[in-house]
């Protein structure tokens, strides 16, 4: 479409969208439909079209799972160092500082104690907003400290994962957290203290390959992406098209990789029932 001005043809400019209008709508990560943001918020951040569970903040996750006012955070002051003096387009120190300012946290893991329907639990929640929830030395250390406190108080450990995997800026020190956290939760099994793993979208890489899949019961939210390498990487490697819905929670349930899929609004009651059973 064009319009004319003083004998000259000029391209018509598309109408500008207001920031308010843009903020009113979301595109679903699963069905790709445009959905009304307020409707999603009212529905516990769940897509009304396909039941996809949007990512939620750490605070929202804690409030969803534990009784109001019962959560007490542990070891919030732990923050990453830079032993490798890693630098790509920016230094690791600059990246972590920017993430700390953005999220208000020292790293990608929040641990603490709360109560679920009156029963005390130790809770670990990944913050995907902090460097993609990547697992570095601080994340591994905090999980291990939560395990120690769970053992001491004989409290079930609840872990909520949302992570892209190991933190590349910490190299082998990050990969070591896979073995470190796996060895820690093995002590829970020896002591007969329950460990429940909740997989949110997305859970990938070294987190999936270690602690996320070691729960006595493994729960996933509907349509969560869960895997080690991403589907595009796998397709390019094996030169084959992957099955429909590959790496979605429903696919993993059908193939015995997880134990159950629970909608967000029912998650607290499901975990409470499991804790009571154990």
Give the Cα separation of 209 and 172 in Å (integer).
15
Domain end point (choices 8, 38, 54): 54
Domain end point (choices 54, 71, 96): 54
Would residue 172 count as lying in a domain? Answer: yes
Would residue 7 count as lying in a domain? Answer: no
- Residues 217, 88 share a domain: yes
Would residue 89 count as lying in a domain? Answer: yes
- Residues 133, 26 share a domain: no
Does the annotation place 28 within a ligand binding site? yes
Per residue in 163-176, pLDDT (tens digit) is 999 999 999 999 99
By the 8 A CB rule, do 45 and 89 touch?
no
Does the annotation place 31 within a ligand binding site? yes
Give the Cα separation of 23 and 190 in Å (integer).
50
State which residues form the domain around 241.
57-277
Give the CATH number of the domain where residue 129 resides: 3.90.226.10
Of 222, 94, 72, nearest to 149 (Cα)? 72
- Residues 69, 50 share a domain: no
Does the annotation place 47 within a ligand binding site? yes
- What domain count does the chain have? 2
Q: Where are the beta strands (DSSP E) in the chain?
A: 2-5, 8-11, 25-27, 34-36, 72-74, 109-116, 119-126, 157-163, 195-203, 217-220, 260-261
- Residues 66, 38 share a domain: no
Q: How many other C-beta atoms can be found within 10 angstroms of the C-beta atom of residue 62?
A: 19
pLDDT for position 22: 56
pLDDT for position 232: 86
Per residue in 102-120, pLDDT (tens digit) is 999 999 999 999 999 999 9
Q: Which of 28-32, 70-74, 156-160 has the lowest mean pLDDT?
A: 28-32
User: Cα–Cα–Cα angle for 152, 175, 57, nearest 5°?
Assistant: 65
Question: 């893991």: which residue's tokens?
Answer: 109
- Residues 195, 241 share a domain: yes
Does the annotation place 144 within a ligand binding site? no
Would residue 206 count as lying in a domain? Answer: yes
Q: What is the pTM of this model?
A: 0.89
Q: Is 239 left (phi over 0), alpha (psi -120 to 50) or beta?
A: left
Quick one: 21 exposed, middle or buried, by C-beta within 10 A (0-12, 13-18, 19+)? exposed
Residue 29 pLDDT > 90, yes or no?
A: no
Domain end point (choices 10, 39, 54): 54
Q: Which of 8-22, 33-47, 223-237 has the lowest mean pLDDT?
A: 8-22
- Residues 69, 39 share a domain: no
Q: Which two tokens stand for residue 221?
A: 């939210």
């Amino acid at each position: 479409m064009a319009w004319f001005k003083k004998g000259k043809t000029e391209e018509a400019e598309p109408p500008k969208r207001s920031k308010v209008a843009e903020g009113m709508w979301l595109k679903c990560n699963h069905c790709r439909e445009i959905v009304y943001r307020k409707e999603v918020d009212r529905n516990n951040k769940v897509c009304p079209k396909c039941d996809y569970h949007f990512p939620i903040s750490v605070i929202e996750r804690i409030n969803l799972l534990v009784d109001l006012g019962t959560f007490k955070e542990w070891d919030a002051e732990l923050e990453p160092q830079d032993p490798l003096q890693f630098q790509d387009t920016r230094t690791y120190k600059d990246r972590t500082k920017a993430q700390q300012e953005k999220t208000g946290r020292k790293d990608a893991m929040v641990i603490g104690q709360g109560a679920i329907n009156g029963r005390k639990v130790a809770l670990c929640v990944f913050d995907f907003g902090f460097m993609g929830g990547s697992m570095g030395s601080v994340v591994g250390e905090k999980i291990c400290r939560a395990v120690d406190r769970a053992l001491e108080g004989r409290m079930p450990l609840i872990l909520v994962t949302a992570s892209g995997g190991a933190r590349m800026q910490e190299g082998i020190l990050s990969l070591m957290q896979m073995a470190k956290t796996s060895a820690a939760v093995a002590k829970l099994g020896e002591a007969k203290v329950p460990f429940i793993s909740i997989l949110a979208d997305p859970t990938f890489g070294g987190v999936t390959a270690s602690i996320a899949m070691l729960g006595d019961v493994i729960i996933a939210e509907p349509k969560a992406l869960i895997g080690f390498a991403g589907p595009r990487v796998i397709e390019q490697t094996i030169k084959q098209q992957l099955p429909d819905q590959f790496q979605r929670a429903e696919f993993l349930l059908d193939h015995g990789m997880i134990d159950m899929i629970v909608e967000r609004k029912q998650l607290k009651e499901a975990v409470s029932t499991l804790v009571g059973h154990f």
